[in-house]
Amino acid sequence: MKALQNPVILLSSLALAACSSTSPPKQTQLADLNHPESIKPQSFMLRGSVVIGPNSQTITPCGSQQQFQLSLPQSLMTKAASVSASPYDSHYGEMVGYIKPPSQSGDNGDYAGRFVVTHINVLSGKSQHQCHLYPLPTRAFGNTPDKWSATFTQDGIIFSPSQGQSSQLALSGGELSEQRRKYQTNDGDLTLDAKYCINQHSHTLYGWKAALRHQQHTYRGCAILGNTDSSLKWAGVYYAASKTNQGFTVSMQLSRDHTAVTRYSYENDQPDVVETGYWQSLGNRQVDVVMTRHDQQYLVTQRIFHAKHETFSASQEKVGDTVYPIANGGLTLYKDYHDSVGLEEPDRSKKPTSLIASSEYDENVDQALRRYLIEHKLANGDHHYRWLTYDLNGDEHSELLVYMDWQQKKEGSLLVFNNVSGQWVFNSQIITNIPVYLSNKSTEGWRDLVITSQLSGKLQRLSFTDGHYQPTEPNVAQPHDAVMLFSGGISPRQQGIHL
């Protein structure tokens, strides 16, 4: 969240900036190991499982087994503790900051690094199943004067009131800074201020306050910035190509959780030497790679790589407090695209976001389904299901969607459970095949669904009217840039949870 040099930005950049938590600054001064004051890491967002207790604060990034120690100012510690039911509970969080080496005292050296938190984008006190919700754009929501939500798209802002259809608000200008983001629309503006917003009902801390002026009304609430990490373009596996035979090869892996591994492999029978640590961007031309352990022993070494066209080069290395030149003219590494598959940030511009349902047992999901069976007087049987969660109504509380294979029935059905005060309450049953698409249109604040009719095989639209999902258009085209739910074509009968 760096302040832009020119506060008035191009319209084409507004929507892009709204999809990211940080605005990458132009790197005017190159970092130099000989001048520590020149090394200024670019803030980025780290998402994952956050634990905040009186004596220990950690984050385990999404999809990672590694932990970073969290360093929070006391003011943020107090706010974060306010959303936790008890100390050391695990919560989903999106933290903005940068990484520093861990200290060697106590068990601190066992962490991959120390993540210095400068801002909290969101910290959820209840729902933990949110790592799969990536990427998400900037969105705002509230209950003043009535329930409302606003979500950024590439075409502007989709505004969804509590009553009536959603509308597209075109962007006409804007100003972005670290403390305020103001977006001008065709009949008003949306202002986001970097002030914390706590929803005591849901035990959630949001990093921004929102005010939307539209059609002579002012809507107030909270906001969350887009949760993408622009620095992930550097993630991947890199190999050295040496002109001289040094008897060993060098590889470096920069993972999506911002951990790093450097491996020295020898041609003889010597075991590999492995260094582990972390990496972060210094701007658009340099990457900071810090190793904190050398063959399991605490040792801090630092290299600043100049990045150009997927090629990394470094001429110096800092060991402790001393800077040394790297032998043979330095180290040059080249990205291996084959080995980097799964580490790079995928290109999401050409296909919709796809969410694969879970086949793992969750007690809260199981209890919601059993309540549904009891309320509708349905017997337990040879039923199988797969499930996922998604915020369908823009209130930042995920609904539960369950795709069920019923015993001795060929058709499957989608069960939608509304999130009411942290508990999933049955709302709608929809006979459909999978996948299910989320439309960009909303009705009464809820996203429309596009499903495949089991009778005609055609796509049809369902809208949230009179408190439930109901068919509104019998024959529609696949939504452009839609989110695809229950992708992969795996049925509950093939791989699901037995109820």
- Average the pLDDT over each of 123-127, 261-265, 356-360, 375-379 and give the range with the smallest value: 123-127
The pLDDT tens digits for 173-213 are: 899 998 999 999 989 999 999 999 987 677 899 999 999 99
pLDDT level of residue 405 (50, 70, 90 thresholds): confident
Per-residue H/E/C for 252-317: EEECCCCEEEEEEEECCCCCCEEEEEEEEECCCCEEEEEEEEECCEEEEEEEEEEEECCEEEECEE
Which tens digit of pLDDT belongs to each residue from 363-398? 889 999 999 998 988 877 778 999 999 989 887 788
Instruction: Give yes or no for residue 225 having a pLDDT over 90.
Output: yes
Residue with tokens 């887009």: 226
Taking the C-alpha atoms of residue 340 and residue 52, their distance in angstroms, rounded to an integer, is 33
Could you give the domains of the chain?
A: 139-224 (no CATH), 231-336 (2.40.128.120), 354-498 (no CATH)
Q: Tell me: the pLDDT tens digits for 470-496? A: 999 888 887 777 889 998 888 898 889
Question: For residue 357, is pLDDT > 60?
Answer: yes
**What pTM was estimated for this model as a whole?**
0.76
Rg over CA atoms, the chain: 25
The whole-angstrom separation of Cα 57 and Cα 479 is 42
> What's the whole-number mean pLDDT along residues 3-9?
37
Given a cut of 70, whether residue 130 has pLDDT beyond it is: yes
Which region among 90-94, 149-153, 425-429, 452-456 has the lowest average model confidence (pLDDT)?
A: 452-456
Q: What is the pLDDT of residues 19-34, one digit of tens each?
A: 565 555 555 689 999 9
Burial tier of 467 (Cβ tally within 10 Å: 0-12, 13-18, 19+): exposed
Residue 345 confidence (pLDDT) above 70: no
Task: Select the more confidently predicted residue: 451 or 466.
Answer: 451
Angstrom distance (rounded) from CA 439 to CA 54: 44
Residue type, 430: I
- Cβ contacts of 106 within 8 Å, gap of 6 or more: none
Question: How many CA atoms, within 13 angstroms, populate the side-chain half-sphere of residue 120?
Answer: 29
